[in-house]
Amino acid sequence: MQLKKLSIYCFLLLLLALGGQSYAQAPSAVRKAQQAYLEAGKALGQNQLAQAADWLEKATKADPSFATAFQQLGDVYKKMERYQQAITAYEHVLSVNPSLTSLTYFGLGESYLVIGNYTQASNNFQQYQLKGKLSEKSTQLVDKYLADCAFSLKHLNDESSGLIALSTAINTDKDEYYPKLTADNARIIFTRKENNQENFYESLLTGDQWSEAIKLPEPINTAKFNEGAHCISPDGKYLFFTGCNRPDGLGSCDLYVSKKENGTWSDPFNLGPGINTRGWESQPAISADGKTLYFVSNRAGGQGSYDIWKATLLADGKWSSPVNLGPEINSPYDEGAPYLHADNKTLYFSSNGWPGFGKNDIFQSTLSNNGQWSTPENLGPAINNYLDQRSFHVSLDGSIAHLASQDQAQQWDIYRFDFPKEKRAPAIAYIAGFVFDKANKKPLDASIRVTNTNTKELVFERKSDYLDGGFIAVLPVGSNYAVHIQKEGYLFDSKQYALDKEEFANKHFQDSIFLEPILAGAIATLRNIYFDVNKFEILSSSESELDLLLKLLESNPKLSIEIAGHTDNTGNKNTNQILSEQRAQSVANWLKAKGIASARLEVKGYGDSKPIAPNTSEEGKQSNRRTEFIVK
């Protein structure tokens, strides 16, 4: 289902039909061998590969010169991922009838490629090019394989594997894949496949030990359907996942979302038409700001068989029409398992179309400021090899990755990888806050908006959870941010975070915000009003804060306020008094210019007479340099 097998084998059959390639299927003179061969054909018609292989083994045993049976046996072994046996069968074809078909070289090339013998794979693909009459699409596929071989031979010894298998608390003798972690890396949810049934499991990290994974209860997991290929919002409260063949589904596999409330996951909600089609949608990835949903689909309009698409969250709470990421990301083959790092610019995904080591490798691409994706970069042999690698997840600071990879027995397990500094995504910090009513201390579902004060870009917008008032805002390090918290009927609050230095990487800020109801005497501090030193002209980086104050006054037309300016105790008292009055007046002038009546605005300056912190440190002085407004 979600971990779809590579479709190149079936794709080849289609290419052969389009290109008109075939080979003479000379019967065996040995009756027993020919009869077994015919029985194998019946089994193949019913897609019974194991039975077909048994019959073909009998046919080749009865007639060791039966080249056609050996060729078909190699094809069946390859389809069953028994590549060494496929190689033996193909090599036997060349020994008894080298002119049977050029497809023998293709089969050898594919088989050698997926076991990591790139020199032999390249040699056989080149022989296939020389001897075969290839269609345009067949040529494209062989050129892709030759590019894989050249890339692998060039980079195979760049570095050794750095994959570290997680403990048996998570990895078992079953298949485990699609690891996704919360922002604090303390909770992992992954998919486990048992008896052809996929379900979610969860484990918690205590110290450096993962707890024994437990199966998530209904309604997330079901007894009748497969669930998997998921992602978690940074706060761990929203689970986007893939559900297949469910009663409310639109196609074979659809995307769903569930919210965790009071420790229990809600009934899954189908994301509906637009996101889901009659086809196959899977492998969602939600951006850290919750505004962009990436996913994989085989819908019409793509570049290849399976492509990565994205949709954006509109103001009305609906998703936009999905957009294909285009040829910068999607190849003519398969891309999948997207993961967007919390910087909202670094995309990781799996692909068998871009040059790699064999099957699916993990790639990285970066979104430029003008909206263009960089050419995908293979993450190299420290992560990728000739086996399958999928479903990447990277910690907020970019230092630790988790992914699913196959072992030699084709089993999927979950691994971790420590990223070298030069390959890490840009540093991230995050704010974990809780919003309460100041009077009764009950949690509030307030609007949270975070603005980059350097670029004036709104980088985060969401409501705090109505059950506990919680929110998590993930922010790239390297800028200063204004955080605004507002709810109807309350004075807004604001915070400022200077995250302009690398030392804030992976920094976890915690804060409790208490909003005051709009009542006479209520005070709010305007923490994101900025002036130059000893100046009273408002800087442009203050606009997001002033806009909130303006909207508060516009939505409460009977509200009148006092605007109060304060300074620290540096310098002359009289100068401080005048400066505080001038700064308060600047705020009032800005509001009056926007249409607020002068009668609703009283201006006062208090100089350094009302400190809220000791003036003995720079932090205290910074707190005392403030602009407030008071409800009259």
Residue pLDDT, tens place only, 329-372 = 999 999 999 999 988 899 999 999 999 998 999 999 999 988 89
> Residue 291's domain spans which residues?
164-423
Q: What is the mean pLDDT of residues 27-56?
A: 95
pLDDT of 19 higher than 80: no
Q: Which of 257, 250, 304 is nearest to 281 (CA)?
A: 250
Phi-psi region of 295 (alpha: psi -120 to 50; beta: other; left: phi over 0): beta
What is the chain's length? 632
How would you label 203-220 residue by residue, b for 16+ Cβ within 10 Å and e otherwise? bebeeeebeebeebeeeb
Q: Are residues 407 and 480 in the same domain?
A: no
How high is the pLDDT of residue 22?
A: 56
Looking up residue 231, the CATH number of its domain turns out to be 2.120.10.30
What is d(CA 27, CA 221) in angstroms, rounded to the nearest whole number? 52
Residue the block writes with tokens 């297949």: 244
Q: Is residue 559 part of a domain?
A: yes
Q: Are residues 510 and 615 in the same domain?
A: no
Q: Is residue 456 part of a domain?
A: yes
Band of residue 520 on the pLDDT scale cut at 50, 70, 90: very high
Are the C-beta atoms of 118 and 156 separated by less than 8 Å?
yes
Q: 137-146, 182-191, 413-422, 500-509: which has the minimum mean pLDDT?
A: 500-509
Average pLDDT, the chain: 90
Give the list of residues 6+ apart from residue 320 with CB closer than 8 angstroms, or none: 274, 311, 312, 313, 314
Band of residue 561 on the pLDDT scale cut at 50, 70, 90: very high
Q: Are residues 391 and 491 in the same domain?
A: no
Residue the block writes with tokens 């408002």: 538
DSSP 378: E
How high is the pLDDT of residue 1?
A: 45
How high is the pLDDT of residue 23?
A: 65
How high is the pLDDT of residue 16?
A: 38
Helices (H) then strands (E): counts for the chain: 11, 33
The last residue of one of the domains, among 423, 441, 470, is: 423
Backbone phi and psi for residue 111, each to the nearest 5 degrees, phi listed first: -65, -45
How high is the pLDDT of residue 315?
A: 84
* % the chain with pLDDT above 90: 67
Residue 44: strand, helix, or coil: helix
Q: What is the mean pLDDT of residues 385-412?
A: 90
Q: Are residues 111 and 257 in the same domain?
A: no
State pLDDT tens for residues 477-503: 888 899 999 999 999 998 888 888 877
How high is the pLDDT of residue 541?
A: 85
Q: Is residue 2 part of a domain?
A: no
Give the list of residues 6+ apart from residue 296 with CB closer than 8 angstroms, or none: 281, 282, 283, 306, 307, 308, 309, 335, 336, 337, 338
pLDDT of 195 higher than 60: yes
How high is the pLDDT of residue 12?
A: 39
DSSP 224: S
How high is the pLDDT of residue 332?
A: 95
pTM recorded for the entire structure: 0.82
How high is the pLDDT of residue 182?
A: 82
Q: What is the mean pLDDT of residues 437-458?
A: 92
Q: Are residues 449 and 539 in the same domain?
A: no
pLDDT of 9 higher than 60: no
Alpha-carbon distances of 173 from 144, 181, 194, 238, 392, rounded to whole Å? 34, 22, 9, 29, 21
What is d(CA 628, CA 560) in angstroms, rounded to the nearest whole number? 13
Q: Is residue 3 part of a domain?
A: no
How high is the pLDDT of residue 24?
A: 63
DSSP 600: G
Alpha-carbon distances of 586 from 182, 468, 474, 491, 597, rounded to whole Å? 44, 38, 33, 21, 15
How many domains does the chain contain in total?
A: 4
Q: 6-15, 303-312, 406-415: which has the minimum mean pLDDT?
A: 6-15
